[in-house]
Structure 1
Amino acid sequence: MTTLINHLYHTGFQSGNYADTLLHVHQNTYHLHAIILSRSPYLVQLMSTSPQVSGQRVIYIPLGKDSEATLDGFAIALGYLYSPASLALIKPENARGVLAAGCLLGGVDDLCNYAYEACREAINLSTIASWLAFVDATPHSDDTASPGPSPIPTSAFGSYTLRLRESVLHFLMIILPAELDLCRDSLASSRSNSASPSPASSGRDTLLQIFSQVPFDAFKAIVESPAFQIGSEQARFQFAKDAIQLRKHGVARSTGAEEAVVLAFGGGNTGGSVVHVTRKISAVSCRPL
């Protein structure tokens, strides 16, 4: 079986021998085989309505210039139709494009799961800006945002959209504070009066800069959650205040919104304090022109 799959991949996909289908994606042309492409419901639909030229089907994939399914990602997804060997080509830098291409093709759950895991592992400090843009493109309702599941608009990632969003929130809420060493002791040292910034102070400043760009619904969900461990609830409250101050010059300003945070006491079943973030459209932004 392995020999057959290798033959299909190298002779059929990479070399394009004995092809009966021409598939065009922008400037790329693939010489492929209808029986293999029929693994994809999307390609089956295209083949059923595509013309034949000189005995070959001709398919055009309408990938827009802003499509999440990149050319590299689409090539890997097509290769997977022939052989799982294509999985070895998935890297952190192309995983998102592969996942979008896999979701477009359909019928390749193993590829999508593999690409999703690569995406999840690719969420880090150096890539968080692009993932924040992704979260911003799939917003929750401002008034109902919470860490738990809620409906997400349809996107190029299909059912993986919510999973990706939750992975980004998990990174911001759990992983990044731990990586920046924002435990109780380090947070306390960051608020010291020493002349030189401590490592914790630098970590807190880094986190503040990132949270100044987090879309409001995600910002609210994370800051209000007790799982956001950066010290006491008072420390979380102060962090939210400092972040909102920064956000006045960025995210909040661009939306014409006024954000605020309160520390409510006597909340929850334990009678402790609760951090609560609010937002309202400023009167200035609502004024008629």
Structure 2
Amino acid sequence: MASASNGTSTNGHTDAGPSRKAASSSSGERASASSLLDNGAFTAFQATQQEHDASIVAHIYQSGFQQGNYADIQLIVLNRSYRLHCLILSRSPYLDHLIRSTPTKQIYIPLEQFPHITEEAFAIALGYLYASASMNLVTPANARSVLATACLLGGMEELCAHAYELCKTTITLENAHNWVEFLSTIPFSSAPSSPRSASPLPTPNENGIPHNHHFQNGYTQWSGYTQHPPAPPPSAIFGPYAERLRGDVFHFLVVALPGQLAAAGSNVSEVLVNVYSQLPFEYFKAAIESPEFPIGNDHQRFQFAKAALAIRKQGIARDAEESVVLAFGGRDQGQSNVHITRRMAKRRLFKVGQ
């Protein structure tokens, strides 16, 4: 068997294609080609290469992923069965591990262990292993699930980043509490992170392969495979994006939302009191004490906190004792003089026989 170190692949032919080391060698190859061709001819040569590569990718996606031709492995996801290809699936560290550790050519993905991942999102991520055209199927409705799937499978940073950016655009006044509730199910080790600046959403390619729900890789019933790989914790599924999203939601509540309300001529304080009175304590405390908090001076901030606490006492904080303290001297260090504290309310004890 020929060694790849001398420029020959393990299949015995000269290695002229892209590889993990292509970045260091491609510039020399282009320089060699450009020395033989004038600028116009070289540009046409590059365009021909790109068209050829695009046609290969389209063929692999349509024939390999959508139709399951020449498959060498079966992937079972809930009630759906995919005929796929080990070489392509091995781009995912998670799937590569399952392929190497499973003695048969049938792999079961226990999607029921991952409540944030849907069949639709898993299909999009599988398609992405074959071609980036699958990114065109990511929508505001499925972006969060696609992000979870891409983080779980691994090796999909571009898809993760695209889904994450789309998630950020969906945070609104109407669904902010839903986002907070969702993030509360994801473990974190610190208070909500500092505000993050928003970046524009990349525009998807409109010339991608359209979604087709009638793939030959269709639905089959499966009940005979029982081996389940262990489920990672929720924080591992979302990876670093859990903390980023937590920071984005916090930024929206403290910076973006007040700005939107002011621009619309709304009563900022009145709306925020109602919103903040429903937040988990960690978010409420971090928001009130944040230097970015938009409600006036310390006295106004103190009065705002008292109004929110009065509502919280009747609802979300009825089993706790939350209070606000106005200190002095913190502003010199860029800190708030208004602090929120909390302790659980003491339960009344009864003597036996009372």
Bin the TM-score by the shorter chain: 0.7 to 0.9
* Cα deviations by residue, 1:149-204 (Å, 9 ceiling, x for unpaired): 9xx9834201211111111101111111111118xxx9xxxxxxxxxxxx533x54
For 1:25 and 1:12, locate their aligned partners in 2 and report how far apart those are by CA, in whole Å.
18
**CA deviations over 1:196-248 (Å, ceiling 9, x no partner):** xxx533x5443222212211111111110120113333222222211111112
Q: CA RMSD in A?
A: 2.7
Residue 49 of structure 1, CA deviation: 2.6
2:237 equivalent among 156, 160, 164: 156
Compared with structure 1, are the counterparts of its residues 74 and 271 closer, same or farther at alpha carbon in structure 2 (3 Å cutoff)? Answer: closer
Q: What is the distance in 2 between the residues matched to 1:238 and 1:139?
A: 32
Distance 1:30 1:250, change over 3 A: farther
Deviation at 1:17, TM superposition (A): 1.5
Matched with 1:119 is: 167
Matches of 1:216 and 1:153 in 2, distance apart? 21
Q: Is 1:135 paired with 2:183?
A: yes
Task: Give the alignment of 1:97-116 within 5 angstroms.
Answer: 97-116=145-164
Matched residue SS, 1:178? helix
TM-score for the superposition, normalised by structure 1: 0.82
Which residue in 2 is equivalent to 1:200?
Answer: 266
Alpha-carbon distance in structure 1 between the residues aligned to 2:336 and 2:84: 62
1:36 is paired with a residue of what secondary structure?
helix
Aligned partner letter, 1:6: A
SS in structure 2 of the partner of residue 125 of structure 1: coil
One of 251, 270, 284 as aligned partner of 1:219: 284
Q: Does structure 1 conserve the Cα–Cα contact (< 8 Å) formed by 2:188 and 2:243?
A: no
Partner of 1:192: none
Aligned to 1:23: 75
Where do residues 43-58 of structure 1 align in structure 2 (5 Å cutoff)?
43-52=95-104, 57-58=105-106
Residue number among 264, 282, 303 corresponding to 1:238 in the alignment: 303
Inter-partner Cα distance in structure 2 for 1:222 and 1:230: 11
Name which of 88, 112, 129 aligns with 1:64.
112
Structure 2 counterpart of 1:8, from 54, 57, 60: 60
Determine helix, strand or coil for the equivalent of 2:75: strand
Return the alpha-carbon distance in structure 2 between the equivalents of residues 224 and 50 of structure 1: 52
Deviation of residue 263 (structure 1)?
2.1
In 2: Cα distance, 1:153 partner to 1:178 partner: 32
Report if the CA contact (8 A) 2:183-2:246 is conserved: yes
> How many percent identity over aligned positions?
48
Q: Which amino acid aligns with 2:121?
A: G
C-alpha distance in structure 2 between counterparts of 1:271 and 1:81, whole Å: 48
Write the letter of the residue equivalent to 2:119: L
How far, CA to CA, are the matches of 1:268 and 1:104 in structure 2?
43
* Deviations 1:87-112, CA, capped at 9 Å, x for gaps: 11111111100010001101111111
Paired with 1:224 and 1:66, the residues of 2 have a C-alpha distance of 35
Aligned equivalents of 2:173, 2:151: Cα separation in 1: 26
Contact 1:90–1:115 under 8 Å retained in 2? yes
1:257 to 313, 317, 320: 320
Q: Give the corresponding residue for 1:283.
A: 346
2: CA distance, partners of 1:271 / 1:99: 36
Contact 1:147 1:221 in 2 (8 A): no
More strand by share: 1
Unaligned runs of at least 5 residues, structure 1: 187-198
For 1:124 and 1:235, locate their aligned partners in 2 and report how far apart those are by CA, in whole Å: 25
2:121 maps to 1:73: yes
- 1:265–1:272 CA contact under 8 A, matched in 2: no
- Using structure 2 for the length normalisation, give the TM-score: 0.68
